[in-house]
Amino acid sequence: MIDQQPITQLLARSQPLLSVEFYPPKTAEAVDGLVRAANRISESKPDFISVTYGAGGSTRDLSATVSRRMKDEVGLQVMPHFTCVGSTREELGEIVDEFYNEGYRNIMALRGDPPQGHDTFQVTEGGFAYASDLVAFIKERHPDMCIGIAGYPEKHPEAPSLNSDLDALKIKADAGGSFITTQLFFENDAYFRFVDHVRARGIHLPIIPGIMPVLSLKQIKRITQLCQSQLPKTLESALSQVEEDPDAVRRIGIDWAQRQIAELIERGAEGVHIYALNKAKSAIELINAARG
Ligand SMILES: Cc1cc2nc3c(=O)[nH]c(=O)nc-3n(C[C@H](O)[C@H](O)[C@H](O)COP(=O)(O)OP(=O)(O)OC[C@H]3O[C@@H](n4cnc5c(N)ncnc54)[C@H](O)[C@@H]3O)c2cc1C
């Protein structure tokens, strides 16, 4: 087991910060496979990994199990994600204290998505409406916790305008956010424009771009529809032409992500967060390419 270091400390080093995101599998049996994938990825030495947080009880337990095993067995720096969905303040307090007592010093604080079957987020009675409330709550309870917050280069889907979304980001940053990780995007200009807007608002936190390699056209269409990130026409058309050939799709997706990462780092991004879709091979290829 290694001591968990605040990501702000890792960011202070000169090289770009490289991190990989996992999501908990649907069943406890599948966790072993994910731990094996993390073991393979750990050989490429990502700076940290993060584990997403689901709303339901069993998903929530699996998120905690995955984080714990990656921290204690694989020996990685781990940032669990945490959302407001379905919990009162008391429950959120218990969960965050548990994370803290288990040694985590980083947490990604989110509002969470509307539950399936709902168009809008449902505030739990006695819970929080916005991620900024959760950030302030964690900061008050554990001032030394380093808190990641989400940013949306192409605007959060529910926000009426980019301006209002940036206002919300400013509130979240001022509440105690330590760094911003972005939603996935495929055109780097979207990221650099976003950085300019964020800086113009007086937000000076590091902004880590989130990159997802395309591994399947069907899957990426579903994901981009949900998060409303633009899939560029050139990329979509190249993928469509080889749709029946998974290796060719994968090659195009990895090449695109590698080119994005190279440019982001070259133009000064503090690091890259890889949405690895639980796949070790592509995560390793992207980390190795980013290190040059
Ligand atoms: C890096 C990253 C990791 C993620 N990990 C997870 C995960 O592990 N589990 C999961 O369920 N989901 C995850 N998500 C998805 C996230 O939960 C959704 O995008 C969710 O809809 C918004 O979460 P948020 O924390 O950005 O919310 P918020 O910052 O609360 O924003 C939500 C909406 O409310 C608006 N808003 C915020 N504050 C105010 C205010 N004070 N007044 C008016 N409007 C306001 C914003 O403009 C936005 O439209 C992740 C997203 C990202 C980018």
Distance 111 CA to ligand 1 centre (A): 5
* pLDDT of amino acid 54: 83
Name the residue of 119, 133, 156 to mutate for ligand 1: max ligand atoms within 8 A of Cβ. Answer: 156
94 is catalytic: no
Query: Which one is catalytic: 21, 73, 243, 270?
Result: 21
Residue bearing the CA closest to ligand 1, atom 23? 111
Closest ligand 1 atom to residue 130 Cα is 30
pLDDT tens series, the chain, 292 aa = 789 999 999 999 889 999 999 999 988 899 999 999 999 999 999 999 999 998 665 688 899 999 999 999 999 999 999 999 999 999 999 999 999 999 999 999 999 987 777 778 889 999 999 999 999 999 999 999 999 999 999 999 999 999 999 999 999 999 999 999 999 999 999 999 999 999 999 999 999 999 999 999 999 999 999 999 999 999 999 999 999 999 999 999 999 999 999 999 999 999 999 999 999 999 999 999 998 7
The first and second tokens of residue 197, run together, are 């807007």
- Minimal-distance CA residue to ligand 1 atom 9: 53
**Nearest-atom index, ligand 1, CA of 157:** 49
Q: Which domains, ranges and CATH numbers included, belong to the chain? A: 7-291 (3.20.20.220)
> What does pTM read for this prediction?
0.97
Ligand 1 pocket at CB < 6 A: 52-53, 81, 83, 108, 110-113, 130-132, 150, 156, 158-159, 164-165, 168, 171-172, 181, 183, 210
Question: How many angstroms does the Cα of residue 285 sit away from the middle of ligand 1?
Answer: 29
> Which is nearest to 217 in space by CA: 261, 256, 272?
256
101 CA distance to ligand 1 centroid (A)? 26
- Whole-number Å distance, alpha carbon 133 to ligand 1 midpoint, is 11
Q: Calculate how far, in angstroms, residue 149's C-alpha sits from the geometric centre of ligand 1.
A: 8
**Best mutation site among 7, 17, 19, 110 for ligand 1 pocket (most ligand atoms within 8 Å of CB):** 110
Quote the pLDDT of residue 28. 87
Tell me the pLDDT tens digit for each residue of 201-256. 999 999 999 999 999 999 999 999 999 999 999 999 999 999 999 999 999 999 99
Q: How far apart are CA 24 and CA 140, in angstroms?
A: 28
| Three state DSSP letters for 201-240 | CCCCCCEEEEECCCCCHHHHHHHHHHHCCCCCHHHHHHHH
